[in-house]
Amino acid sequence: MALFTKKISAVKVPHHKNTAALASVVAPPPPEVLIPTNMQSGDACVPVVSVGDTVKVGQVIAKAGGRNSVPLHATVSGTVTAIEPYKLTGRAAEAIRIQSDGKMERDPNLAPPVVSDLDGFLQAVNDSGVVGLGGAAFPVWAKLDAIRKNPIPTVLVNGAECEPFITSDHRMMLEHADWIKKGIELLKEYLHSEEFIIGIEKNKPDAIEHLTQFFAEDNTVRVMPLESVYPQGAKQVLLYNATGKVVGPGQRLASLGVIIINVTSLAMVGRYFTDGTPLVSRSITVDGSAVSEPKNIEFPIGTPISYVFEQCGGLKNSPRKIIYGGAMMGKTVTDLNAPVLKATNAILAFGEEDSKKKPAAPCIHCGRCVEACPLNLNPTEFSHAMEIDDEDRRAEILTREQVSLCMECGCCSFVCPAHRPLAENNTAARGFIRKYNAAKKEGGK
């Protein structure tokens, strides 16, 4: 087994935290929003509004659609103008288009939920529409639901924010410690968790100091400074570095008595229970060499990327690369009409110079990619496997080498002196094995 047979590796990436000192601002409402029904990692939501309906901010526009789903809310006030097919990261679903009336009128029914037991609490977290806001988009209620099978004495609050450029969690920790506190109080009350570790990389000393002082009177909360290395915020890495625990292949984190929750996700749950606002907007970092005025700025979910850039002084030049999320793990976007999603913590745009890929050279078998992998995987084996035409043999090797564990962190590509596209290959290999196994399950293999 590859996993954790030696220390957990990490790489030093340039931080580029250019927006860390800039207080978050709120953008004026965009003319329209496009809200995909499959923004969370579970099943797509089912629209409950029709074209022509008028909606207010926070009103439910789509109900949870099955496994690991959460409802969607209107993020602007206005009129539903379309419910149209929409493909998001390869998954076909629908999207609800709302033309804004510019008023941002709140649904008058919004109020902090009143709950008295675990069922009511989990239902309210579901109703909040909050998902993993660090990028995973896994519904928070479904994560907390693990309490039904395992006691969860320890909650690891992920404030590492190890990706270059992104500072939205950093600003959340500085600007809304009250919401984080509310989230912690709720988990204490309903999950009976006893220990809260807020892991923050040392490159955010102001956040470490602020939260340490904020929670000084609460001996259940510990702010833990972590080395500024990538991928410090990855589940397995953070768990090991903060608690010394290791989650094995296929093992659920909760079975170790731990859950990890992104700090902004926790804050948004806290906010919902404070003022009744479901997840209708979020602050994102907008940065990169093609952005005129990098900043942290809050937009309604569904805001088109073109409007995001407009609110950041426009683009300096025609960008060569636009990314949802971080420079290491983010996904390239080609459509400027694509919307801000729930899990979009940053939108980066880079000019020609910063987007150039160095040409790949043959592998020199230096082993650096293996050395750099936090999970001790062997990306060169994945590459070799992907060159094999026989799909059964390819699947056998990828399974043996545990490609499904790869978290696509990109450390292997980052260190490769031959500039081999290892991370892209890993993504393709994971996609192949997913499809292969699904076909096998259905009897097609």
Are 49 and 254 a contacting pair, CB within 8 Å?
no
Q: Counting contacts by CB under 6 A, is residue 418 touching ligand SF4?
A: yes
Burial of residue 325 (CB within 10 Å: 0-12, 13-18, 19+) is: buried
- Binding to ligand SF4, residues 358-387 (CB under 6 A): 363-369, 372-373, 375, 377, 379-380
Helix (H) or strand (E) holding 286: strand 281-287
CA distance 378 to 393: 17
Q: Does 105 bind ligand SF4 (CB under 6 A)?
A: no
Site string for ligand SF4, 292-331 (x = CB under 6 A): ----------------------------------------
Q: Which of 90, 179, 89, 163 is nearest to 130 (CA)?
A: 179
Q: Looking at 101-257, which runs of residues are DSSP E strands? A: 154-159, 195-201, 221-226
Give 14's DSSP letter: -
3-class secondary-structure state, position 168: helix
- C-beta of 115 vs 418, nearer to ligand SF4: 418
Among 406, 425, 432, 433, binds ligand SF4 (CB under 6 A): 406
Rounded CA separation 425/421 (Å): 6
User: Mapping DSSP to helix (H, G, I), strand (E, B) and coil, where does residue 265 land?
Assistant: helix
- Asked whether position 249 contacts ligand SF4 by CB under 6 A, the answer is no
Q: Which two tokens mark 152?
A: 């969860």
Among 195, 293, 354, 408, binds ligand SF4 (CB under 6 A): 408
Nearer to ligand SF4 among residue 99 and residue 404 (C-beta): 404
CB of 199 to ligand SF4, least distance (A): 19
Nearest distance from residue 229's CB to ligand SF4, in Å? 13
Q: Which of 64, 312, 409, 429 binds ligand SF4 (CB under 6 A)?
A: 409
User: Pick from 343, 418, 334: which is nearest to 380 by CA?
Assistant: 418
In this structure, is the dihedral angle defined by the CA atoms of residues 157, 159, 160 and 161, taken in order, positive or negative? positive
Closest CA to 145 of 124, 160, 176: 124
What is the sign of the dihedral through the CA atoms of 372, 375, 381 and 383? negative
Q: Are strands 46-47 and 91-100 parallel, antiparallel or unpaired?
A: unpaired
Nearer to ligand SF4, 264 or 383 (CB): 383
**Residue 43 or residue 408: which is nearer to ligand SF4 going by CB?**
408
Tell me, what DSSP letter sits at residue 360? P
Shortest Å distance, C-beta 186 to ligand SF4: 33
Cβ atoms of 268 and 129 within 8 Å: the answer is no
Considering the complex, what minimum distance in angstroms separates the CB of residue 231 from ligand SF4?
7
CB atoms within 10 A of CB 384: 16
- As measured in angstroms, the least distance from the Cβ of 381 to ligand SF4 is 10
Distance between CA atoms of residues 437 and 228, nearest Å: 37
Site size with ligand SF4, rule: CB under 6 A? 27
CB of 241 to ligand SF4, least distance (A): 16
Site for ligand SF4 in 257-276 (CB under 6 A): none
Q: Is 151 in the site for ligand SF4 (CB under 6 A)?
A: no
Residue closer to ligand SF4 (CB basis): 239 or 406: 406
Q: How far apart are the first and last CA of the chain?
A: 26
- In whole angstroms, give the CA distance from residue 59 to residue 262: 25
Rounded least distance, CB 362 to ligand SF4, Å: 8
Token duo for residue 72: 């969607």
Whose structure tokens read 């890495």?
237
Contact between 10 and ligand SF4 per CB under 6 A: no
Indicate whether 410 belongs to the interface with ligand SF4 (CB under 6 A).
yes
Residue 97 or 430 having the CB closest to ligand SF4: 430
- Binding-site member from 261, 407, 429, 433 for ligand SF4 (CB under 6 A): 407
For ligand SF4, which is the closer residue by CB, 139 or 379? 379
Q: Least CB distance from residue 162 to ligand SF4, whole Å?
A: 13
Dihedral sign for Cα atoms in the order 358, 363, 367, 373:
positive
423 binds ligand SF4 (CB under 6 A): yes
Stretch in the footprint of ligand SF4 (CB under 6 A) among 211-219, 348-356, 384-392, 413-421: 413-421
Nearer to ligand SF4, 291 or 416 (CB): 416
What's the CA gap between 83 and 90, in Å, rounded? 18
Residues engaged in binding ligand SF4 (CB under 6 A): 363-369, 372-373, 375, 377, 379-380, 406-412, 416-418, 420, 422-423, 426
